[in-house]
Amino acid sequence: MNIAIAGVGLVGRVLALNLLQEGHTLTLFDEDQANGEKAAGMTAAGMLAAFAELETAESVIFKHGKRSIELWLPLLKSIGLEDAYQLEGSIITAHPQDYSELDHFIATLKSKVEEAKDIQLLDRTGIIALEPDLEQHNKAFYIPHEGQVDAQRFMQRSTEYLLNHQNVTWHQETKVDSVSEGAISFNNTTEKFDWVFDSRGLGANEQVKNLRGVRGEVLWLDAPEVNIKRPTRMLHPRYKIYIVPRQNNRYVIGATEIESEDRSEVSVRSSLELLSAVYSMHTGFAEARIVKMLTNCRPTLKDNLPNIEQGEKLTRINGLYRHGYLLAPAIVEKALNEGINT
């Protein structure tokens, strides 16, 4: 089929890779350059936290999250990037005065899905055995079957792969004005296709009802004195932070969650909260260098759940909110099975 994808952020890329495997010919449209700097998928920490997200999410997120965790590895392999996938579990901890919050968090997960029984309580010895750098903590929980995709490496490699693929035409810096059944309108023209996908995230707000942005801020730190291997969260009554390790002692610290579509720079308040929390987790962050401070908005629907809308020769996928990496492969699989592959 001759297929078009409007919006080549996270969902658009996962779609494109799947459709190429099925032998289709693709025309991609994005208002950004191919490097994807503006996509939320480029700002994301890439955590695959099917369990931890259950604190506020519904169990459908867990179901799709589990499926995506299975699908990510073959997808990354297909572009030679399997080392960007890590599934060695994650850690959740808190300061002693917040242990009740920590216990409540874990109890909530256990009340929602049976598999959460595998979450392990760690004392100081258990913490040191798994993550020696967290030795100043006396209590934590270990969640197996969680991990991360190195989001930025995925975005970069998928750019190279798609740009070099003979069945792909990529219209960069091309704003799509509307996506309708079998047609994409841009630059005062309308092009017809056998099937079209609308994966413009927040950019689809004129055609997708009740879509809003939820602002998120992250800091990137170079911390040679810190050696944390797994995604680690710290609970606190006012804010929840996570530390996601990347290659070469680099860490993504995030993320704020603010009901706003403001994409301006990181605020003083957010950076103070994130940095003081991270320093209180590990004093080795004191001499870390702040290499990047980024803001983006998560495309979110009224119920905070992902949505697939199928039409004649048309599929729209949106609302992946704070779960894009956790959900994209499973949501794309579902959309293709309900749509062009029916």
Ligand X SMILES: Cc1cc2nc3c(=O)[nH]c(=O)nc-3n(C[C@H](O)[C@H](O)[C@H](O)COP(=O)(O)OP(=O)(O)OC[C@H]3O[C@@H](n4cnc5c(N)ncnc54)[C@H](O)[C@@H]3O)c2cc1C
Nearer to ligand X, 39 or 81 (CB): 39
Q: Where are the alpha helices (DSSP H) in 58-136?
A: 59-78, 99-112, 124-130
CB of 114 to ligand X, least distance (A): 23
Q: Which stretch binds ligand X (CB under 6 A): 89-97, 110-118, 282-290, 316-324?
A: 316-324
Q: Stretches 78-86, 112-120, 123-131, 315-323: which one binds ligand X (CB under 6 A)?
A: 315-323
Q: Which is nearer to ligand X, 27 or 318 (CB)?
A: 318
Output 32 or 131, the one with its CB closest to ligand X. 32
Lookup: tokens for 152: 């930025």
Q: Is 47 in the site for ligand X (CB under 6 A)?
A: yes
Q: How far is CA 127 from CA 80, 160, 226, 232, 284, in A?
A: 33, 40, 15, 12, 17
Q: Decide if 224 contacts 126 (C-beta within 8 A).
A: no
Do 294 and 43 meet the contact criterion of CB atoms below 8 Å apart? yes
Counting contacts by CB under 6 A, is residue 299 touching ligand X? yes
Phi, psi at 127, each rounded to 5°:
-65, -45
Count of residues that interact with ligand X, criterion CB under 6 A = 42
Q: Is 313 in the site for ligand X (CB under 6 A)?
A: no
**Residue that is written with structure tokens 């808190």 in the block:** 94
Give the DSSP per-residue string, 293-336. EEEEEEEE-TTS--EEEEETTEEEEE--GGGHHHHHHHHHHHHH
Ranges within 213-272 binding ligand X (CB under 6 A): 216, 218, 254-255
Residues 6+ apart with CB under 8 A from 141: 91, 92, 93, 102, 106, 119, 120, 121, 122
Q: Which helix (H) or strand (E) holds 26?
A: strand 25-29
Among 2, 25, 38, 172, binds ligand X (CB under 6 A): 38
Nearest CB to ligand X, comparing residues 127 and 254: 254
Q: Which stretch binds ligand X (CB under 6 A): 55-63, 77-85, 271-279, 322-330?
A: 322-330
Q: How far is it, in rounded angstroms, from Cα 241 to Cα 233?
A: 6
Q: How far is the CB of 46 from ligand X (least distance, A)?
A: 5
Touching ligand X, residues 278-297 (CB under 6 A)? 296
Q: Which of the stretches 34-42, 136-144, 160-168, 278-286 binds ligand X when contact is defined by CB under 6 A?
A: 34-42
Is residue 335 at the binding interface for ligand X, with CB under 6 A as the rule?
Answer: no
* Nearest distance in Å: CB 252, ligand X: 8
3-state secondary structure of 266: coil
Contacts to ligand X from residues 161-220, by CB under 6 A = 175-176, 199-201, 203, 216, 218
CB atoms within 10 A of CB 173: 10
* Interaction site with ligand X (CB under 6 A): 6-12, 29-32, 36, 38-41, 43-47, 175-176, 199-201, 203, 216, 218, 254-255, 296, 298-299, 318, 320-326
